[in-house]
Amino acid sequence: MTAPSLAKAPPPARGSALGAPSARRKITDRAVQGLVYLAFALAMIPLVSVLWTVVGHGLSRLDPTFFQFSMNGVGGKDAGGGAYHAIIGTLEQVAITTVIAVPIAVLTAVYLVEYGAGSRLARTISFFVDVMTGIPSIVAGLFVLALWLLAVGFGFSGFAGALALTILMIPTVVRATEEMLKLVPSDLREASYALGVPRWRTICFVVLPTALPGVLTGVMLAVARVMGETAPLLLTIFVTKAINTNPFDGPQASLPTFIWDQAADPNQNSIDRAWTGALVLIGIIMLFNLAARLVARRFKPAGR
């Protein structure tokens, strides 16, 4: 990861029969090698800096108060206050998102791989799933705002936020599930058909269980991704400093919007809270990432 371990690369291939490469070619080769190493090192600077500063600044307010209290009645200048309301909100919103998005996404992937393979509808869906991956998160928020809040007439709520996150979660889970279903050997399917098992039971009890670890990894990565989304939540759950445990009624808080709210206040106490919020958020996200990798490594799909 750091310079010393990168330094020993295998020597460049040499065409012995044709004579050694000229000095100019060697220098070019070395120069490019240097540039490529530099590119990687360059990318590590922000990563290390982000993690370093978040941990460094975040530790100062990482105390029990932070996890036990909301910001209700706490001003920007005041010390104390916490993110209890935000953590509750984030967990509820992400849970609802997962419950809605995963079945839709898995069924879509099943259609793409098992039923529709090659058909025009499947190709269209597949293309739009790709396009959906690129929808800016703020547009997902605006869509829920236009549909759920303005057209249907509901108010700001954690559920509205979950709807926006669902739109962002579906394509990632579809892609992950699709990849995994494709890895399931067709021998397994054929063996099941040969035993007279109907197609849908084959899918439910043979194909999906085989692909399960991979799907689980995909879901966890998707959860980690939507958990850090801020923009769509600003438009759908709005802002509150108080605890609201009911995701279906009234504005809710979430960790990302908590950070956004605190960072907008120039007082040092607020900035400290923002950093600690960032540390907690990044901690949860990294946990999910790590767990996903572990699941992926532990149960490799029975593919080839």
Partner 1 sequence: MTSDTGVETRVGAQHRAAGRPISTGRIGDKIFLHAARGSGILVLVIMAAIAVFLVWKAIPALQRNEASFLTAQDWDPNATPPKFGIAQLAFGTVMSSLLALLMATPVAIGIALFISFYAPRRLASGLGYVVDLLAAVPSIIYGLWGLLVLAPHMEGISKALNTALGWIPLFGGDSPGKNSIFTAGVVLAIMILPIISSISREVFVQVPRANVEAALALGATRWEMIRLSVLPYGRSGMVGAAMLGLGRAMGETIAVAMVLTFVPGINLHLLEDGGSTFAANIAKSFGEATDTGRGALIASGLVLFVITLVVNMAARAVVARRKEFV
Contact assessment for residue 303 and residue 183, using Cβ atoms and an 8 Å cutoff: yes
Tell me whether residue 28 or residue 246 sits nearer to partner 1 (CB atom).
Answer: 28
Contact between 137 and partner 1 by CB under 8 A: the answer reads: yes
Q: Stretches 9-17, 73-81, 154-162, 179-187: which one binds partner 1 (CB under 8 A)?
A: 9-17
Helix axes 208-227, 158-183, angle to 10 degrees: 140
Q: In Å, what is the CA distance from 211 to each residue of 198, 200, 206, 234?
A: 19, 15, 9, 36
Whole-number minimum distance, CB 71 to partner 1, in Å? 16
Tell me whether residue 24 or residue 64 sits nearer to partner 1 (CB atom).
Answer: 24
62 to 91, contacts with partner 1 by CB under 8 A? none
Contact between 127 and partner 1 by CB under 8 A: the answer reads: yes
Q: Stretches 74-82, 136-144, 181-189, 243-251: which one binds partner 1 (CB under 8 A)?
A: 136-144
170 to 189, contacts with partner 1 by CB under 8 A? 170-171, 174
What is the DSSP-derived secondary structure letter of residue 20?
Answer: P
48: left (phi over 0), alpha (psi -120 to 50) or beta: alpha
Q: In Å, what is the CA distance from 133 to each residue of 6, 128, 130, 167, 248?
A: 34, 8, 5, 9, 27
If DSSP codes are grouped into helix, strand and coil, which group holds residue 134? coil
Q: Stretches 82-90, 176-184, 243-251, 271-279: which one binds partner 1 (CB under 8 A)?
A: 271-279
Cα R_g (the chain), whole angstroms: 25
Tell me how long the chain is. 304
Contact between 105 and partner 1 by CB under 8 A: the answer reads: yes
Q: 2, 4, 15, 64: which one contacts partner 1 (CB under 8 A)?
A: 15
204 to 263, contacts with partner 1 by CB under 8 A? 204, 224-225, 227-231, 234-235, 239, 256, 259-260, 263
CA angle 84, 90, 95 (to 5 degrees): 130
Contact between 271 and partner 1 by CB under 8 A: the answer reads: yes
Contact between 99 and partner 1 by CB under 8 A: the answer reads: no
